[in-house]
Structure 1
C-alpha cells in the first residue's frame, strides 16, 4: 500500500510539473522579463542619443516604415531636441511594458509599448515608446515606431479622449515618428 502511495504521488508530481499550462506560465514569465529588459535597453539607447545630441543615432532607432510614414521626421526630431531640456539624471518605469505578439506558424510579430518617466535637472518627462522588435514577414517594421514625449504634468492629457492625442473618445489614434502633442 505504501509503494502505491509513493508511486501515485510521483506520477501526479511529474504530471503537475510537466503540465503545459505551467510551462506556459514559466515561458510567459521569462518572455515578460526579456521584453522588459529589451524595452529598458531601447530607452537607454534613446537617452544616449539625447545625452550626446546625436540625431543620427536617434533616427537609426526607428524602423524604416516609421521613417517613411512620419511627416517630416527631421523637423519633429529638431522639435524634440528643442523641447527636451536639461541633463538626464534618472528614469523610472511606472508600468509595463504592454506586449502584443502574434505567432502564426512561425510568422512572428511583436509590439512592445513601454512607459517611462525621464528626469532631468530641469524637468520631468513622460515617454511612451512603441517598438516592434520582431516582424519576421516585414523586416522594415522592426524598430521604434513612435516616441511620444510630454512633460510629466501633461501625461493625463494624452489618455483623455477629449484631448484627441492617443484617443478620440474611445477610438485609438495612431501616430508615427517623434510626437510631442503638448509643447
Structure 2
C-alpha cells in the first residue's frame, strides 16, 4: 500500500521535471525524461519540443493535480510493470493548460520502456475535446489511440 501512495508523489515530481525543462527551454533535458521506446516511436520529437516551448505562453507559476493518477500495475511471476497516467492543470501568468503524462515507472523485462511515453498538452478549455472519440485525439470512438513523445493536438 505504501508503494501506491508514492505513485501520486512520483507523478507530481515527474510533472515538476517537465515544468523545469519548459521553463529553461532545454530540449536535451526534456528528451532525457522520455523512454527510449517513446523516442524511437515519436515523430519529430525535436520539433515538437520546440513547439511545446513556444506553445506555453507566459511564466509557469502553479499547477494542480486533477485527482489521483491512474496506475496500471502487474507482476507476472516476478516480471513487473507499472504505468502511471497523471493529469494536471498548469497555470502561467497568461494561460491555463491541461497536461496528461503517461509514464512507465517500472518494466523489469523491457528497461527501454521506462520513462515518459507521452506528454500531451492542450489549453485547459480544450481538455474535454481530447477525450471525444469523434475528435480522434486520444480515442477513435472507444478505442485508445497511441501517441509517443510530445503531442500538442489542437494547435
Measured against the shorter chain, the TM-score band is over 0.9
Q: Give the whole-Å Cα distance in 1 for the aligned partners of 2:117 and 2:48.
A: 14
Q: Which structure's residues are more often helix, by fraction?
A: 1
Q: Which residue of 1 aligns with 2:3?
A: 31
Q: Which residue of 1 aligns with 2:142?
A: 170
Report the TM-score when normalising by structure 1: 0.83
Q: Which residue of 1 aligns with 2:93?
A: 121
Q: Which residue of 1 aligns with 2:22?
A: 50
The offset of 1:96, in angstroms, is 2.2
Q: Give the whole-Å Cα distance in 2 for the aligned partners of 1:34 and 1:98.
A: 13
Q: Which residue of 1 aligns with 2:60?
A: 88
Q: Give the whole-Å Cα distance in 1 for the aligned partners of 2:86 and 2:144.
A: 17
Q: Which residue of 1 aligns with 2:109?
A: 137
Q: Give the whole-Å Cα distance in 1 for the aligned partners of 2:133 and 2:67.
A: 21
Structure with higher RCO (Cα < 8 A, 6+ apart): 2
Structure 1 unaligned regions, length at least 5:
1-26
Q: Which residue of 1 aligns with 2:123?
A: 151
1:66 aligns with 2:41: no
Q: Which residue of 1 aligns with 2:47?
A: 75
Larger Rg: 1
- Contact map agreement 1:96 1:113 (CA 8 A) in 2: no
Deviations 1:44-85 (A, max 9, x none): 100111111111111100001100110111111111111111
Equivalent position SS for 1:175: coil
Q: Give the whole-Å Cα distance in 2 for the aligned partners of 1:94 and 1:113.
A: 11
What count of residue pairs does the alignment treat as equivalent? 155
Q: Give the whole-Å Cα distance in 2 for the aligned partners of 1:170 and 1:67.
A: 26
